[in-house]
Chains A and B, each alone.
Chain A
Amino acid sequence: MPNLKDLKIRIDSVKSTQKITSAMKMVAAAKLRKAQMSAESARPYAERMEAMVGALAKSFDGVDGAPELLAGNGKDDNHLIVLVASDRGLCGGFNANIGRFARNKIAELQNAGKSVKVLCIGRKGRDQVRRQFGDTILDTMENLTKNGAIYSDADDIALRIRTMFEEGEIDVCTVIYNKFVSAIAQEVTPLQVIPFAVDQVETAEEETQDGDLKALYEYEPSEEDILEELLPRNLSVQIFRAMLESFASEQGARMAAMDNATRNAGEMIDGLTLTYNRARQAAITSELIEIISGAEAL
């Protein structure tokens, strides 16, 4: 028979765990709301930027001399993967999913004979890749998304990527992040940022504008010059957006995970309490039997 005291201790311990998980859930919910808001308020900039790049990219369609950030440098031997994950765990499958996706992608590229480098944003992303592909990791940036993403951080990362691109260390750059679908759903999404995949944005453009965009705008200075300014900035914006989405997803995932944990703890407490009460009753019964049989013996 289980010891009454041991049961009591277990119940107390599960209860305190439940308190922690439910507090974490509350915190995640509050942060989620904030993250969602900042992701939403970042949208106008990104959308307009996309519209501009889309409009300009059209005029370079199939033309030689398009900037390399847009058209690529003609090679795809050296890949850079920017892995956006979280710094902290306890958020369900959030990091495991993105880690699995990244590992598959790395393996696939390596099998195709490409060289792969990984830049990790968030400690947990590094942990996911390190064991199998530790030698591919260039660097890990931590604490960037602690209180939501900051644009200047995204800008620094973009600058670093651009430097590597211009020095010919990388040919293709892909950002892998958790896209925020809803508070309980995230989707691992690869986004190719170098060369910038224009067809991702063109559809949105066509809905809002019906005429030929090239004829619609005057460019000052020339289209080439604007595009040259626009593309690096677009890279920063894309990375910033990935960070924002990832942060919101992380909070959503953590909220769901902690909700589950709290519920599981509740079930466990119920089960343990039942066992505890049974054990208590059995103890009382056996004590009574002892007293009665003692009295009868007299």
Chain B
Amino acid sequence: MTDKVQFELVSPAKLLLSEEVEMVVVPGGEGDFGVLPGHTPMLTTVRPGVIDIYENDKVVKSIFVVGGFAEVSEERCAVLAEEAIAVEDLNRDDAESRLQKANDALTAADNDIAKQVAERELLAAEAMVAACGA
């Protein structure tokens, strides 16, 4: 068994990242989880939040992702994200204006699906603001 995990981050438009990492922490739908080599195969949802990539027990890269899925196998971890932005590229003003917009959309939502979408957007925006502060 190797001591590295093949981590892949994919957005609808392209393959963003594909590299060998020591450990990666993914914000799962039911709580954060870390992936080390030999992880149980698993399929899970990903909530808006920050993915941390560890190298020598230190975070070397943090990426903010919105919504998606993670597919984990013993030697691989693939995250499908709708949006992915490196944390250092996040902008607090953008995040806050997005939060504002999401709030407006939620008030304006007049059917179930629009409401669902607005709620999801609100969560994404909140996570984005939180990621900026961190």
Most chain B CB within a 10 A radius of its CB, from A48, A162, A225, A236: A48
Query: What per-residue 1/0 map shows which CB atoms of B22-50 lie under 8 Å from chain A?
Result: 00000011100000000011111100000
CB distance from B112 to the nearest CB of A (A): 7
Q: Which residues of B contact A46 (CB under 8 A)?
A: 12
Please state if A52 and B69 are interface contacts (CB–CB under 8 Å).
yes
Q: Which residues of A contact B117 (CB under 8 A)?
A: 159
Please state if B80 and A218 are interface contacts (CB–CB under 8 Å).
no
Within 8 A of A (CB), among B37-91: 40-45, 67-69, 71, 78, 80, 82
Within 8 A of B (CB), among A147-184: 151, 154-155, 159, 162-163, 166-167
Contact of A42 among B13, B43, B68, B69 (CB under 8 A): B13
Please state if B43 and A219 are interface contacts (CB–CB under 8 Å).
yes
Within 8 A of B (CB), among A99-121: none
Please state if A163 and B42 are interface contacts (CB–CB under 8 Å).
no
Please state if B44 and A220 are interface contacts (CB–CB under 8 Å).
yes
Within 8 A of B (CB), among A194-251: 216-221, 225-226, 229-230, 233, 236-237, 240
Interface size on A, residues (CB 8 A): 34
Interface size on B, residues (CB 8 A): 28
Q: Which residues of A contact B111 (CB under 8 A)?
A: 163, 167
Q: Which residues of B contact A218 (CB under 8 A)?
A: 40-43
CA distance A48 to B123 in the complex (A): 25
Query: What per-residue 1/0 map shows which CB atoms of B1-33 lie under 8 Å from chain A?
Result: 000000010111111000000000000111000
Asked whether B113 is an interface residue with its Cβ less than 8 Å from the other chain, the reply is yes
CA distance A236 to B12 in the complex (A): 9
Query: Nearest 7 pairs between A and B by C-beta?
Result: A41-B14, A220-B44, A151-B12, A218-B42, A45-B10, A44-B15, A163-B113
Binding site for B on A (CB under 8 A): 38, 41-42, 44-46, 48-49, 51-52, 55-56, 151, 154-155, 159, 162-163, 166-167, 216-221, 225-226, 229-230, 233, 236-237, 240
Binding site for A on B (CB under 8 A): 8, 10-15, 28-30, 40-45, 67-69, 71, 78, 80, 82, 111-114, 117
